[in-house]
Amino acid sequence: MTAPAEAARRPLPTGFVDDLRLLFGDRLQLGDAVRLQHGSSETHFSPVLPDAVVFAHSTEEVVALVKLCTAAKVPIIPYGAGTSIEGNTTPVGGGVTVDLSEMNAIVEVNVEDLDCTVQAGVRREQLNEYLRDCGLFFPIDPGANATIGGMASTRASGTNAVRYGTMRDAILRLRVVTPDGRDIWTSRRARKSAAGYDLTRLMIGSEGTLGIITEVTLRLHGIPEEILSAVCSFETLAGAVETVVQAIQLGVPLARVEILDDVQMKAVNRWAKLDYPELTTLFFEFHGSKRYVQEQVEAVGELARSNGGGAFRWSNLPEERSKLWRARHEAYYAAVGLRAGAVGWPTDVCVPISRLAQCINETKKDLEDASIPAPILGHVGDGNFHVIFVIDPDRPEEAAEAERLNGRLIERALAMDGTCTGEHGIGLGKQDWLLAELGQSVSVMRCIKQALDPLNLFNPGKIFPFEGPVI
């Protein structure tokens, strides 16, 4: 992926940096290292440097920044942990990146209401550590130790979504700074509401193009009495997927169910010195009372057996569970580790679960002749899976090959009534695919973008092509 033409950048107006310094003091950073960090993603996108980086400490500061940027017509890009798999935070039009990671206060926890309010920069693991003593947890786990604000912006989900939903479901309300400098709450703290348009859900997944999220109220869950993990290998991919489909139809509330293909299992064994069978493998987690978990395990065990599954390795002890899940948690690094000096080029589709086995099988067939390794893993309960192309960054033909294989994968998913992204977002990487997927709906999205951000200053060039700010 080459960076968009730098020609589109305008130099910052005279005096603008001085104004920024007045606001942020030494929390304004202009050095190359910090700008490079904030212009990069964890995947294959080429870095583009923002003109400046500021570290915000309050919503009021974000409001002041937005007013300053609006007056000077300078783009503004919110930034959390910077995972940014689709280049979601790459500042293609330059401007100011506002890093929210220092806004990391847990504002309040309402144990009786099973909710909490946090600043956008709070990280997932930090939150769960804090909540442990209350007997509560926040279930969404996209893998990376992302910020809550970043997860909201990309509508993240991950391994627990099959039971607990995605960020769309996990969020009760947002505090957002809009492009016209308003500081709004999108909703009250009640569990449900029919009061006007659902601005909460409009902002979730809008990747910073409609507003900057500064606080989030989250739904929480009681830590289950029993958590049991299990791993099971299957003779065929279809058998693994069918086991999950049948379990869901039976109403078994699987807390996690992840699929890793044979290529990914090989990578994992090599990376973490494990000895799993190098076959399609399901990783399960069951939550509930001891009795109910036992009932779930029995039901799923029976389904697995009848679908060609092998023996279950299982554990309910925290340390053993971590060991069991290690193969899944390190899958991305294991994949990238297949080649020295390689980078990961991960992609993400989601199809109706009835089409999942077919979609993965056809994809594996398409990958057979590829010159680059391409393990597959996914959140099988949602119909969502990833291919990680492992490319040599110095060989542009490999990126081109990944791009072609990715295109065929997405066409396949769309033909099955699926989506070009289950959880990574559109960012820079999937704008054409968004059009292919939703057609005229994209015009409605652009109409909303135009209405709320007429100057096109909020993370311009994401979701929709970069056209430069309106000047």
Q: Which of residues 398-457 bind a copy of itself (CB under 8 A)?
A: 413-414, 417-426, 430, 433-434, 437-445, 447-452
- Closer residue to a copy of itself (CB): 398 or 423: 423
* Binding to a copy of itself in span 119-138, by CB under 8 A: none
> Residue 377 — φ and ψ, nearest 5°?
-150, 160
- Tokens 């053993």 belong to residue: 320
For a copy of itself, the binding residue among 89, 90, 206, 406 (CB under 8 A) is 206
For a copy of itself, the binding residue among 52, 64, 210, 228 (CB under 8 A) is 210
* Shortest CB 35 distance to a copy of itself, Å: 27
* Shortest CB 435 distance to a copy of itself, Å: 10
Closest CA to 452 of 214, 90, 181, 80: 181
Token pair for residue 194? 């029919």
Closest CA to 261 of 388, 443, 432, 449: 388
Q: In sequence order, which residues have a C-beta less than 8 Å from that of residue 32 and are 6 or more positions away? A: 49
Radius of gyration of the chain (CA): 22
Dist. CA 381–CA 379, nearest whole Å: 6
For a copy of itself, the binding residue among 201, 266, 323, 339 (CB under 8 A) is 201
* Shortest CB 81 distance to a copy of itself, Å: 17
* Binding to a copy of itself in span 212-231, by CB under 8 A: 221-222, 224-225
- Closer residue to a copy of itself (CB): 7 or 197: 197
- Closer residue to a copy of itself (CB): 13 or 135: 135
Burial of 119 (0-12, 13-18, 19+ CB in 10 A): buried
- Closer residue to a copy of itself (CB): 4 or 253: 253
- Closer residue to a copy of itself (CB): 1 or 248: 248
Other CB atoms within a 10 A radius of the CB of residue 301 amount to: 18
Across-strand partners of 458?
Answer: 76
Closest CA to 212 of 96, 115, 127, 48: 96
**Angular region, 196: left φ>0, alpha ψ -120 to 50, beta rest:** left
* Shortest CB 293 distance to a copy of itself, Å: 11
**Strands 343-350, 313-315: pairing kind:** unpaired
For a copy of itself, the binding residue among 3, 23, 202, 272 (CB under 8 A) is 202
For a copy of itself, the binding residue among 58, 145, 249, 371 (CB under 8 A) is 249
Token pair for residue 165? 């939903």
* Shortest CB 14 distance to a copy of itself, Å: 32
* Binding to a copy of itself in span 145-184, by CB under 8 A: 154-157, 161, 165-166, 168-169, 178, 182-184
- Closer residue to a copy of itself (CB): 35 or 430: 430
Question: Any contact of residue 362 with a copy of itself (CB under 8 A)?
Answer: no
* Binding to a copy of itself in span 63-122, by CB under 8 A: 110-115
* Shortest CB 102 distance to a copy of itself, Å: 26
* Binding to a copy of itself in span 324-353, by CB under 8 A: 348, 350-353
Q: Are the C-beta atoms of residues 110 and 130 closer than 8 Å to each other?
A: no
For a copy of itself, the binding residue among 58, 145, 289, 322 (CB under 8 A) is 289
Q: Are the C-beta atoms of residues 273 and 282 closer than 8 Å to each other?
A: no
- Closer residue to a copy of itself (CB): 189 or 364: 189
For a copy of itself, the binding residue among 347, 384, 406, 459 (CB under 8 A) is 384
Dist. CA 235–CA 122, nearest whole Å: 42
Provide the 3-class DSSP secondary structure of residue 381: helix
* Shortest CB 368 distance to a copy of itself, Å: 25
Dist. CA 250–CA 244, nearest whole Å: 10
For a copy of itself, the binding residue among 130, 185, 312, 466 (CB under 8 A) is 185
Dist. CA 84–CA 425, nearest whole Å: 9
- Closer residue to a copy of itself (CB): 36 or 250: 250
Token pair for residue 258? 């992840």
Q: Are the C-beta atoms of residues 277 and 265 closer than 8 Å to each other?
A: yes
Size of the site for a copy of itself (CB under 8 A): 95
- Which of these ranges, 199-207, 339-347, 390-398, 400-408, lies near a copy of itself under the rule CB under 8 A? 199-207
Expressed in angstroms, the distance from the first to the final Cα of the chain is 28
